[in-house]
Amino acid sequence: MNKHDKNLKSLWKFFVICAVSEAAFGRPNIIFLVADDLGYNDLSIHGSAQIPTPNLDALAQNGILLNNYYVCPVCSPSRGALMTGLYPIHTGMQHDVIYVDQPWGLPLTHTLLPQHLKKLGYATHAVGKWHLGFFRKEYTPTFRGFDSHYGYWGGKEDYYDHTQQMGELWGLDLHQNMKTVTEDLGKYSTFLFADQATNIIQNHNTSKPLFLYVAYQAVHSANLYAPLQAPDEYVKRFLHIKDKSRRIFAAMVSAMDDSVQKIVATLKVKKMLQDSIIIFTTDNGGPAAGFNDNAASNWPLRGVKATLWEGGVRGLSFIYSPLLKYTSRVSMDLMHITDWLPTLYRAAGGDVLSLGKLDGCDMWDTLSLKKPSPRSEVLLNIDPINRVSALRVGHFKLIQGTVYGGKWDGWYGPSGRENTSMHDLFDFKLPGAEIECKPKSDNASSNCKPAIKPCLFDVVEDPCEYYNLADDHPQIVEMLLNKLSKYNATAVLPGNKPMDPRSNPKYHNYQWINWMDYAEDTNDI
- State the Cα–Cα distance between residues 421 and 307, nearest whole angstrom: 27
Any alpha helices (H) in 443-524, and if so which ranges? Answer: 474-489
Pairing status of strand 455-458 against strand 396-400: antiparallel
Q: What are the beta bridge partners of residue 399?
A: 390, 455
Secondary-structure percent of the chain, ordered helix, strand, coil, rounded to 5: 30, 15, 50
- Which listed residue (18, 72, 75, 361) is catalytic? 75
95 given a catalytic annotation: no
Query: What is the C-alpha to C-alpha distance for residues 215 and 272, in angstroms, rounded to an integer?
Result: 20
Bridge partners (DSSP) of residue 239 are none
β-strand pairing of 179-180 with 175-176? antiparallel
Give dist(CA 354, CA 362) in Å, integer.
Answer: 12
Among 131, 149, 175, 336, the active-site one is 131
Strand 335-336 vs strand 69-70: parallel, antiparallel, or unpaired? parallel
- Residue 234 has φ and ψ, to the nearest 5°, of -80, -40
Of the chain, the end-to-end C-alpha distance in Å amounts to 59
At residue 277, φ and ψ (nearest 5 deg) are -110, 125
DSSP 91-144: TT--SS---TTS---S-TTSPPHHHHHHHTT-EEEEEEE--S--SSGGGSGGGT
- Residue 396 pairs in a beta bridge with 393, 458
For residue 69, give the 3-state DSSP assignment.
strand
- Identify any residues that bridge with 212 across adjacent strands, giving them in sequence order: 31, 125
Beta-strand relationship, 123-129 and 148-152: parallel
101 contacts 309 by C-beta, under 8 angstroms: no
Rounded CA-CA distance 44/355 in Å is: 37
Of 57, 468, 1, 449, the C-alpha closest to 253 is 57
Residues 6 or more apart whose Cβ sits within 8 Å of residue 374: 361, 362, 363, 366
Tell me if residue 75 is catalytic: yes
Q: From edge to edge, which strands make up the β-sheet containing 388-393?
A: 377-383, 388-393, 396-400, 455-458
What are the phi and psi torsion angles at 111 (to 5°)?
-85, 130
Residue 211 host element (H or E) = strand 210-215
Are the CB atoms for 86 and 358 separated by under 8 Å?
yes
* CA–CA distance, 308 with 218 (Å, rounded to integer): 22
Which residues does the annotation mark as catalytic? 75, 131
